[in-house]
C-alpha cells in the first residue's frame, strides 16, 4: 500500500495551507453552482402517478405530506429482486433524521419498482423509518429516467429527483443520477439540490430564504425533537 510522505510539522502546515486555499475556492465554486441549480426552470407535472405505501394508494402530491418540497430517492429495487440494491442501501443508511429537512418545508421519500410487499420486510430488516413507496405498475421510474430500456433489457439507475408544489400544482425542478449523487447525504447537501435551497440569507438568487418562514442559518438549527410542526 502506498502511504503519504512523512514530513515535519512545518512542512505539513505549509502543504495544508496550500490545499486549504484550493478547498475554499472549491466551496465558492460549489456555492455558485448551487445558485445556478436554483435558477433552473421547472416543469409542471400534469400526469397522475399512483404509488403503494403503508396507507394504501398515494399520489405524487400526497408524498409531499403538506410540505412545499419533495426529494425522491430512486432506490434500485427491481420487482424480481428479493432485496434492495446494496449501494442504494448504503446511501439510505446515511440519511439522518428528517426533522431537519421538514423544518425547511421539505419531505424525503424513497421510491422503488418492487411491490410494497417486498419493500416492507426489507425496510424492517434495515431498520429504516424513511417513508418508502412502490411505483410497481406505474410509469414514474421510466418517466424520470430511474429505469431505462437498453438493448431489450430493463436497467435500474440510482438517483434523486426534486419537486416543488405551489398550491395543488406540482413541478419537477431537478434530478441527478449515479455519480451525480456521490456528494449528497447530509440534510444541507440534500437541500442544495432543491429550488429553495437551504433558505439562508446569503444564498442566491435572493428572495427564497423567507419563502417558507423556516429557520435559516446553522445558528438556528435545533435538536430534531425541538422543531415546531
Contact 220, 227 (CB under 8 A): no
CA distances from 216 to 173, 201, 203 (A): 21, 7, 10
Average pLDDT by stretches of 10, the chain with 229 residues: 94 98 97 94 97 96 97 96 94 90 94 97 96 95 88 84 96 94 84 88 78 56 76
**Residues paired with residue 133 on neighbouring β-strands, in sequence order:** 111
Q: What is the pLDDT of residue 222?
A: 80
Rounded to two decimals, the pTM is 0.89
pLDDT of residue 153: 77
CA 174 to chain centre: 10
Query: How far, in Å, CA of 83 to CA of 85, rounded?
Result: 7
Amino acid at each position: 500500500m502506498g502511504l503519504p510522505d512523512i514530513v515535519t510539522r512545518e512542512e505539513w502546515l505549509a502543504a495544508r495551507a496550500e490545499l486549504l486555499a484550493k478547498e475554499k475556492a472549491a466551496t465558492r465554486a460549489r456555492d455558485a453552482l448551487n445558485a445556478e441549480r436554483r435558477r433552473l426552470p421547472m416543469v409542471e407535472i400534469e400526469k397522475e402517478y399512483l404509488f403503494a405505501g403503508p396507507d394504501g394508494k398515494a399520489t405524487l402530491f400526497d408524498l409531499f405530506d403538506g410540505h412545499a418540497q419533495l426529494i425522491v430517492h430512486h432506490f434500485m429495487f427491481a420487482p424480481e429482486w428479493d432485496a434492495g440494491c446494496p449501494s442504494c442501501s448504503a446511501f439510505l443508511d446515511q440519511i439522518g433524521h428528517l426533522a431537519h429537512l421538514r423544518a425547511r418545508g421539505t419531505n424525503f421519500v424513497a421510491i422503488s419498482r418492487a411491490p410494497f410487499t417486498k419493500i416492507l420486510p426489507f425496510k424492517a430488516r434495515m431498520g429504516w423509518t424513511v417513508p418508502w413507496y412502490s411505483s410497481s405498475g406505474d410509469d414514474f421510474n421510466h418517466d424520470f429516467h430511474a429505469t431505462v430500456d437498453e438493448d431489450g433489457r430493463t436497467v435500474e439507475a440510482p438517483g434523486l429527483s426534486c419537486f416543488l408544489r405551489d398550491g395543488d400544482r406540482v413541478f419537477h425542478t431537478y434530478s441527478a443520477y449515479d455519480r451525480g449523487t456521490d456528494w449528497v447525504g447530509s440534510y444541507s447537501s440534500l437541500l442544495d439540490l432543491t429550488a429553495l435551497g437551504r433558505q439562508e440569507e446569503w444564498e442566491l438568487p435572493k428572495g427564497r430564504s423567507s419563502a417558507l418562514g423556516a429557520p435559516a442559518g446553522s445558528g438556528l438549527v435545533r435538536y430534531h425533537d425541538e422543531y415546531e410542526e
